[in-house]
Amino acid sequence: MKFNTATPIYQQVVADLKKKIVNGTIHPGDKLPSGRDLAVEYKINPNTSSRVYALLEEQGITYTKRGIGTFVIDDENIVDILKEEMANHLLTFFMNNMHELGYSSDDIIDLIRRNEKC
Amino acid sequence: MKFNTATPIYQQVVADLKKKIVNGTIHPGDKLPSGRDLAVEYKINPNTSSRVYALLEEQGITYTKRGIGTFVIDDENIVDILKEEMANHLLTFFMNNMHELGYSSDDIIDLIRRNEKC
Amino acid sequence: MKFNTATPIYQQVVADLKKKIVNGTIHPGDKLPSGRDLAVEYKINPNTSSRVYALLEEQGITYTKRGIGTFVIDDENIVDILKEEMANHLLTFFMNNMHELGYSSDDIIDLIRRNEKC
Amino acid sequence: MKFNTATPIYQQVVADLKKKIVNGTIHPGDKLPSGRDLAVEYKINPNTSSRVYALLEEQGITYTKRGIGTFVIDDENIVDILKEEMANHLLTFFMNNMHELGYSSDDIIDLIRRNEKC
DNA sequence: GTGGTCTAGACCACA
DNA sequence: GTGGTCTAGACCACT
């Protein structure tokens, strides 16, 4: 995985794991790799792994059993909730900024349609 | 203006000024406030003002007359160029992320339409 | 039983068993469940059970007959001793912290009285 | 300051700073020492300082200006809110445990009174 | 083996 | 100078 230097690595890994949960690569209830394994997988420092899992836990996406491992919350709804939450976040950010630039909702839909054809 | 702690203040001010140019609050050829005034207006550090103007100049949006002030490039096209540039940037970022979450272009248009009605 | 992730599970189980001895759910001389049964009862790892019994024995609350099981010390006094010991521990911890926050003993008594009525 | 080995250092420092806010050693709006200075003051590693401030910010007690420093929220109410919050936390923990040991509220008040005279 | 904490030292962007 | 991030390496307690 290639990291963007602008944003912190741990945030990028968090985002990547979330995407994997949303698109079904990782399932609710699954055990995530150990901190050390995650470090190897993403070529990061184990401390950075800790931070990743700490953040996911803080956001209520995972829980951790001491000495055993970190697990995705075992609730099927989490996938849809995460998906909607992230989509909404993107959507409002996008729409607000476009409106501020002077684009109406119809303008935006046109842009998307045109973009789609390319 | 409220600043987001996540991204650098100078970038947020730059983005805000660009928006003002695009939506017509500031016009091509206009003189921008002095660094000190900008600092007062946005409640930022004067050093940050410098950085803002340096960045705008670097992007070819403004130019500086030494001892007189900073001016927006006096070219009507700049508005459209800026507008398209920023819109494209927002659009590709938005679409890429939505696709990664599993939304098709049609899904997205639906979301926008529904969002519009609320 | 719900475990607090902050403190070690084995300590929480030890505390729970002590409470049961103090409040009479378990009596002096009683045989405690086997390590395996305790593990099932509390949904913990058998290794953790061992640790629980080791700690209880270390504190002089239980003793082990090899091949037979673990028993609570058969001494009626133990209940009172345990009760006082635990109460004292809680009390001094509580009072010290409250004093550090600026509450006098009278303030504290008021708080308890008010709390009682709710 | 002497640290208890049982609980993490960063939590102990957080608790210490909170106490200082509650008892008036630190006031709302005050600038806290820089991470490096805090590290010297408490004889801890600068990274541990970061963690301390991150936790305080997470709890809404401080805010941080990038490149400038960390400040206590400038709201006089925070002192009382913190004080009550911490006291309530201590109180409910204490009362729950004492009740589980078989002490009534009156028993507890007696204990406090007797304790006071020593 | 697992997560949690801590230290040491370094680099960078921000103000 | 300030906070933020990252690496490296170590130790410990828990399971």
- Average pLDDT across each block of 10 residues of chain D; the chain has 118 residues. List them in order: 90 94 93 96 95 95 92 93 92 92 91 85
Q: Cβ of B5 under 8 Å from any chain D Cβ?
A: yes
Q: Answer yes or no: do D109 and C111 touch at CB < 8 A.
A: no
Q: CA–C1' distance B54–F9 (Å)?
A: 42
- For residues C61 and C73, the answer to whether their CB atoms sit within 8 Å is yes
Please report, for residues A54, A83, B48, B97, D66, the alpha-carbon distance to residue B91 in angstroms, rounded to integers and kept in the order given: 32, 19, 29, 10, 30
- Pairwise CA distance, residues D118 & D114, whole Å: 7
Which bases on strand F have an atom closer than 7 Å to a protein beta carbon? 1-10, 13-15
pLDDT digits (tens, 9 = 90+) for A46-73: 999 999 999 999 999 999 998 899 999 9
- The C 3-42 residues near strand F by Cβ under 7 Å are 8-11
Both structure tokens of C40: 């099932």
DSSP string, A26-92: S-TTPBPPPHHHHHHHHT--HHHHHHHHHHHHHTTSEEEETTTEEEE-S-THHHHHHHHHHHHHHHH
Q: Answer yes or no: do A86 and B101 touch at CB < 8 A.
A: yes
Mean pLDDT of B86-93: 92
pTM score, whole prediction: 0.85
Q: CA–C1' distance D30–F14 (Å)?
A: 40
H-state helical runs in chain D: 9-22, 35-42, 46-58, 77-100, 105-117
Pair type for strands B69-72 and C62-65: unpaired
Q: What is the reported pLDDT for D79?
A: 93
Compute the radius of gyration of chain B from its Cα atoms.
17
Q: Tell me how close the Cα of A66 comes to any Cα of chain C, in angstroms.
A: 8
> Angle at which helices A9-22 and A35-42 pack, to 10 degrees?
100
From chain B, the residues in CB contact with A109 under 8 A are: 109, 112-113
First to last CA, chain D: 27
Q: Which of D54, D49, D55, D56 is nearest to D21 (CA)?
A: D56
Q: Are there at least 3 beta-carbon pairs closer than 8 Å between C and B? A: no
From chain D, the residues in CB contact with C86 under 8 A are: 97, 101
Q: Answer yes or no: do A112 and B91 touch at CB < 8 A.
A: yes
Please report, for residues D21, D28, D56, D57, D78, the alpha-carbon distance to residue D82 in angstroms, rounded to integers and kept in the order given: 8, 12, 12, 14, 6
| Among B97-101, C5-9, C57-61, the least confident range | C5-9
- For residues B39 and B48, the answer to whether their CB atoms sit within 8 Å is yes
Q: In chain A, positions 49-88, which contact chain B (CB-CB < 8 Å)?
A: 83, 86-87
Please report, for residues C7, C97, D10, D15, the alpha-carbon distance to residue D7 in angstroms, rounded to integers and kept in the order given: 9, 16, 9, 11
Per-residue pLDDT for C118 more than 80? no
- For residues B35 and B26, the answer to whether their CB atoms sit within 8 Å is no
- Pairwise CA distance, residues C86 & C63, whole Å: 20
Q: What is the reported pLDDT for C115?
A: 84
First to last CA, chain A: 27
Q: Which of C87, C69, C71 is nearest to C22 (CA)?
A: C87
pLDDT digits (tens, 9 = 90+) for A22-44: 989 999 999 999 999 999 999 99
The footprint of strand E (CB < 7 Å) covers A 32, 34-37, 46-47, 50, 53-54, 64, 66-70; B 8-11, 44-45, 47-48, 51; D 8-11, 44-48, 51, 65-68
Please report, for residues A103, C20, C111, D56, D70, the alpha-carbon distance to residue D39 in angstroms, rounded to integers and kept in the order given: 51, 44, 37, 16, 14
Nearest-by-CA chain A residue for C8: A66
| Among A21-25, B95-99, B114-118, C55-59, the least confident range | B114-118
Tokens 């709710």 sit on residue = C118
What is the phi/psi pair of residue A108, to 5°?
-65, -45
Q: Cβ of D22 under 8 Å from any chain C Cβ?
A: yes
Pair type for strands C31-32 and B69-72: unpaired
CB atoms within 10 A of CB D42: 20
Name the nucleotide nearest D66; use CA and C1'.
Answer: F3
Q: Counting one residue from C and one from D, how many pairs have CB atoms under 8 Å apart?
A: 68
Q: CA–C1' distance B101–F2 (Å)?
A: 38
- For residues D54 and A51, the answer to whether their CB atoms sit within 8 Å is no
Q: What is the reported pLDDT for D39?
A: 96
Per-residue pLDDT for C116 more than 90? no
Compute the radius of gyration of chain D from its Cα atoms.
18
Q: Cβ of B102 under 8 Å from any chain A Cβ?
A: yes
User: Which of B20, B21, B98 is the mutation pick for testing A, counting most A CBs within 10 A?
Assistant: B98
Both structure tokens of D80: 């009382």
β partners of residue C65: C69
- Pairwise CA distance, residues C35 & C67, whole Å: 12
Q: Answer yes or no: do C115 and D91 touch at CB < 8 A.
A: yes
For residue B56, what are the contacts with CB-CB under 8 A and spacing of at least 6? B14, B17, B18, B62, B70
Most distant CA pair in chain C, distance: 54
CB atoms within 10 A of CB A116: 13
Q: Could you tell me which chains touch chain B, where touching means 3 or more CB pairs under 8 A?
A: A, D
Q: What is the reported pLDDT for D16?
A: 95
Q: Cβ of C91 under 8 Å from any chain D Cβ?
A: yes
Please report, for residues A102, B3, C18, D5, D100, the alpha-carbon distance to residue C78 in angstroms, rounded to integers and kept in the order given: 79, 62, 10, 29, 17
Tokens 């008036």 sit on residue = D24
pLDDT digits (tens, 9 = 90+) for B37-71: 999 999 998 889 999 999 999 889 999 988 899 99
- Pairwise CA distance, residues B108 & A93, whole Å: 14
- Pairwise CA distance, residues A107 & A115, whole Å: 12
Both structure tokens of A91: 């959507």
Mean pLDDT score of chain B: 90
User: Which of A101, A110, A116, A118 is the mutation pick for testing B, counting most B CBs within 10 A?
Assistant: A101
